[in-house]
Amino acid sequence: MNLQELKIQFLEYLEVERDRSPKTIEIYDRHLAKFLVWAKIENPTEITDKIIRDFRLHLNRFENEKGEKLKKITQNYYIIIIRSFLKFLAKRDVKALQAEKIEIGHAPEREVEFLESAEIERILEAASGVDFKSRRDRAILELLFSAGLRVSELVSINREKLNFKSGELSVQGKGGKVRVVFISDTATGALEEYLKKRTDIDPALFVRDTKGLRKFKGKNNNPNNKNTQEEDLRLTPRSVQRIVKYYAAKAGLVKNVHPHTLRHSFATDLLMNGADIRSVQAMLGHSSITTTQIYTHVTNPHLKEVHQAFHARRRKK
């Protein structure tokens, strides 16, 4: 079989056997397609050390129309996907370059931007109104920080999943993995106040303004319309991003705040207050402890302060 046919099989393998999300499969498809178009090869035996070296050089020297180069993490992502494809070929006994011969380049450490406690209070207070939008947006901000949710997890929550008595919530994360997250008392209060404003029966926890729903019903009463009420009411990740940025600006924060900033803030807050990294890993839904360890670089300055405050005290006696 040629590489195009094998690529299709690989994507089907990711979907069925590895249970990857449609978005992940789309990304793998796009990156592999770019590699194959650049390489101009048709047979898996043509994937050689030289081809990979030349492709890495191409990625490193590539500039877009604005003169911007590819980030190292993006370059590495291409190589990771190619390695994954080669491992698949090996499983199918297809002769090709061994994946182990390809090394992943060194990428600079990720910078984690988070909000200090005072900044968290400011952004929450910025959404302190009593109308539907303010109640909803306050609940969104509180839940993002309380549970350390990804924005995709937040928008997929249905009302029936909430359990205020236990203070727990099950969410489906990356790769379809389900984990339990915890809702703080302040987040619970914000959610209860928001839900009092809901007059619709839509299952989604976070929806557009119900005034928008009435407009929607007036304009889209055609039963053949594919846009269902639920699809049109549920907030999208992009909507939540705009909401977070709006209140960050309203609070006067100069940082580039987005939903993941609140997730970073959640993890950093836990570590700075004594949580162990394995517990934080579980609460964030990270499959690898390596991913969670990016937060240790953030907490290092805090640890230094602790060392100076407590260890140095013994020397002063």
Domain boundaries defined on the chain? 3-101, 117-304
Contacts of 291 (CB under 8 A, 6+ apart): 281, 284
* 110 band by pLDDT with thresholds 50, 70 and 90: low
pLDDT at 96 over 60: yes
Q: What is the pLDDT of residue 293?
A: 83
Q: What is the pLDDT of residue 217?
A: 46
Is residue 228 a contact partner of residue 181, using CB atoms and an 8 Å limit?
A: no
pLDDT at 137 over 50: yes
Lowest mean pLDDT segment, chosen from 23-27, 102-106, 164-168 = 102-106
Q: Could you give the CA distance from residue 308 to residue 11 in angstroms, rounded to a whole number?
A: 53
Lowest mean pLDDT segment, chosen from 76-85, 99-108, 183-192, 307-316 = 307-316
pLDDT at 57 over 90: yes
Q: What is the pLDDT of residue 294?
A: 80
Interhelix angle 259-272/132-147, nearest 10 degrees: 40
Average pLDDT over residues 291-303: 71
For residues 73 and 206, the model is more confident at 206
Q: Retrieve residue 306's tokens.
A: 């602790």
* 301 band by pLDDT with thresholds 50, 70 and 90: low
The pTM for the full model equals 0.68
Q: Which CATH class is domain 117-304?
A: mainly alpha
Contacts of 292 (CB under 8 A, 6+ apart): 267, 277, 280, 281, 284, 286
Average pLDDT over residues 43-54: 94
Is residue 45 a contact partner of residue 95, using CB atoms and an 8 Å limit?
A: yes
For residues 173 and 302, the model is more confident at 173
pLDDT at 305 over 80: no
The residue written with tokens 């947006």 in the block is: 137
Average pLDDT over residues 36-50: 93
Q: Could you give the CA distance from residue 315 to residue 295 in angstroms, rounded to a whole number?
A: 30
Strands (E), the chain: 168-172, 178-182
User: Catalytic residues, which ones?
Assistant: 150, 174, 260, 263, 286, 295
The rounded mean pLDDT for the chain is 85
Q: What is the pLDDT of residue 104?
A: 81
Give tens-digit pLDDT for 196-251: 999 888 999 999 986 655 544 444 444 444 444 444 689 999 999 999 999 999 99
Average pLDDT over residues 294-309: 64
Contacts of 277 (CB under 8 A, 6+ apart): 271, 289, 292, 293, 295, 296
Q: What is the pLDDT of residue 12?
A: 95
Superfamily of domain 3-101: Tyrosine recombinase, N-terminal domain (1.10.150.130)
